Amino acid sequence: MNKINYNPDILSCLANLSNDEVFTPPDTVNKMLDLLPKHLFKSTNTTFLDPACKSGVFLREIAKRLNEGIKNEIPDTQQRINHIFKNQLFGIAITELTSLLSRRTVYCSTKANGKYSVTDNFGDDQGNIIFNKIEHSWRNGNCEFCGANRDSYDRESYLETHAYMFIHTDKLEEIFNMKFDVIIGNPPYQISDGGSGTGISAKPIFHKFIEQAIKLKPSFLCMITPSRWFSGGKGLDGFREKMLRDKRFKVIHDFYSSKDCFPGVNIAGGINYFLWEKNYHGKCYVINHLNDKELKSLRYLDEHDIFIRDNQAIEMISKILNKKNIRLMSDIVYSRNPFGFVSSERGSTKKSINSVKLVSSGGEGFVERDSVKNNNDLIDKFKVIIGKVVPSNGEIDVNPEDGYRVITSPRVLDPGSVHTETYILLNIFDNELEANNFQTYMKLKLPRFLLRLTLSSMNISVKSFSFVPYLNYDKLWNDEEVYRYFDLTANEIEHVQNTIRDLKD
């Protein structure tokens, strides 16, 4: 490397630091800004708000474009900079530290009125990048605005509360007392609700920033968020339904691997950024990104209850749903924890005359038959199960060229057994032949491909099987027979084959 010519943007380096506060790389910010009409950057009247400032990179890149765009209208450089920073750019920092970082990025000084600030219009330290430390509003142990757990966030005054100003108020319009043409940013993604806080149990909050932004009625809204909202899930079902019906979404850029958007950052289910336009009403351009490939489709987002990310899969789904007398596995699969045993339950090592086998992530133990409070009538059936979590932490590190497993290996449990909530009960059978045939079917590529279409987090649920067909298991199916049964084209088969790996173990 030629060190003399190597001059990295410090904000690009920050973007690779951690998953906790995901900083947006300047390159990604500029791709998002490219979605906006160019005339916005040529007007002295356009106003921009970043409601979740971390590094200040959004405001910095907007300032660059405005500085060039309004040059003819305000020729004097200092007057132009003063006008942009005073009248056009506004930000709300998410912590005191990020407020200092953002002001340093935008004003070249941690204090807007500091000695080295590039603008001289402000009479206070904050300028238009504000941070006011506020408290959560506790009700029944959780914040009524964001759902944060009181035990985790009711803390000493010198610690950050993470009570983000933009989503902890019913009076948004009073923050800056003005209307914004563009709201853009990368909001915090989740907050602890008292669970493990690992991302599997943490409570999403990014959608609350989107909902608040829409309340302000901007002309344009552009944000980058996890893609898990596409299929709903914890705290996101209502939000997903509203968003999929909203015809003001104009463009969605969807990245299956978050690393293609945030180098070095793993976010299960991938990432997306979108353009929402107040005066637009129509179909949305959905653009799939996988490595360096792009696939575009112009379509409505609410064609199905679950948003289909994969543009190449739309026709396949239609073929399956339109198949005569077809049944879907979402009507077959049992809901979470059918026998009432939590994941940590291991049972006893001692077997008694009235005990049944308990299968858990820790192996096999025994529980008394009368301790099975739910679905007691299923104990003496053959059961086919899979793990409730997508392998390898959501397969976020999988090289797409290697293909995806999607599920753990299906397993047949004999009569006289139950399992913990570590597993999903796919179906029950009276005879072993059908159970084994169904187990083999779930290893085939098309069922797993259709299952993967609905996944945008690490967890598998009943809804995840909304497009997986349920067939007759008197016979043993193979991949070629399933493709033929649903009249898949050669291109569709190739797409499935290239996406899903063999599941032999």
Does residue 156 or residue 408 have the better pLDDT? 408
Identify the DSSP state of 466. Answer: T
| Residue-level pLDDT at 2 | 40
The CA-atom distances, in angstroms, between 456 and each of 125, 129, 309, 408, 420 are: 41, 33, 10, 17, 23
Task: Determine contact, residues 10/26, Cβ cutoff 8 Å.
Answer: no
Q: Which of these, 285, 253, 286, lies nearest to 272 by C-alpha position?
A: 253
What is the Cα–Cα distance from 271 to 259, expressed in whole angstroms?
A: 9
The CA-atom distances, in angstroms, between 383 and each of 354, 378, 387, 417, 500 are: 20, 8, 13, 9, 25
Residue 270 has pLDDT above 70, yes or no: yes
Q: Could you read off the pLDDT of 445-492 as tens digits, one per residue? A: 999 999 999 886 788 999 999 999 999 999 999 999 999 999 999 999
| Residue-level pLDDT at 446 | 98
Q: Which of these, 384, 499, 376, 367, lies nearest to 434 by C-alpha position?
A: 384
Q: Which residues lie below 8 Å from residue 138, measured CB to CB, with a gap of 6+?
A: 144, 150, 154
Which one-letter amino acid corresponds to residue 231?
A: S
What is the Cα–Cα distance from 397 to 463, expressed in whole angstroms?
A: 24
What is the Cα–Cα distance from 27 to 46, expressed in whole angstroms?
A: 22
225: tokens are 């968020």
Concatenate the DSSP letters of all residues of 89-154 into one string.
Answer: EEEEESSHHHHHHHHHHHHSSSSTTSTT-S----SSSSTTEE-------EETTEETTT--BHHHHS
Task: Determine contact, residues 192/202, Cβ cutoff 8 Å.
Answer: yes
- Signed CA dihedral, 435, 438, 444, 448: sign only: negative
| Residue-level pLDDT at 422 | 96
pTM of the model: 0.80
Which region holds residue 56: left if phi is over 0, alpha if psi is between -120 and 50, else beta?
left
459: tokens are 């967890």
What is the Cα–Cα distance from 154 to 108, expressed in whole angstroms?
A: 34
Structural domains in the chain, CATH included, are: 10-222 (3.40.50), 317-499 (3.90.220)
What is the Cα–Cα distance from 309 to 286, expressed in whole angstroms?
A: 8
Q: Which residues lie below 8 Å from residue 461, measured CB to CB, with a gap of 6+?
A: 233, 336, 388, 424
Q: Could you read off the pLDDT of 165-218 as tens digits, one per residue? A: 999 998 888 899 889 999 999 999 988 765 544 444 578 899 999 999 999 999
pLDDT band at 262 (very low <50, low <70, confident <90, very high): confident
The CA-atom distances, in angstroms, between 114 and each of 53, 63, 64, 125 are: 20, 19, 21, 7
- Name the burial class of residue 182, with classes exposed (0-12), middle (13-18) and buried (19+) by CB atoms within 10 angstroms of its CB: buried
* Bridge partners, 190 (sequence order): 204
| Residue-level pLDDT at 156 | 78
Residue 236 has pLDDT above 60, yes or no: yes
Q: CA 72 from chain center: how many Å?
A: 42
Q: Which of these, 245, 249, 357, lies nearest to 303 by C-alpha position?
A: 245
What is the Cα–Cα distance from 89 to 180, expressed in whole angstroms?
A: 10
Task: Determine contact, residues 151/194, Cβ cutoff 8 Å.
Answer: yes
What is the Cα–Cα distance from 61 to 489, expressed in whole angstroms?
A: 45
Q: Could you read off the pLDDT of 276-316 as tens digits, one per residue? A: 999 999 999 999 998 778 999 999 999 887 788 899 999 99
| Alpha helices (runs of H) in 363-431, residue ranges in sequence order | 391-395
| Residue-level pLDDT at 354 | 93
Q: Which of these, 8, 43, 48, lies nearest to 32 by C-alpha position?
A: 48
215: tokens are 């309340």
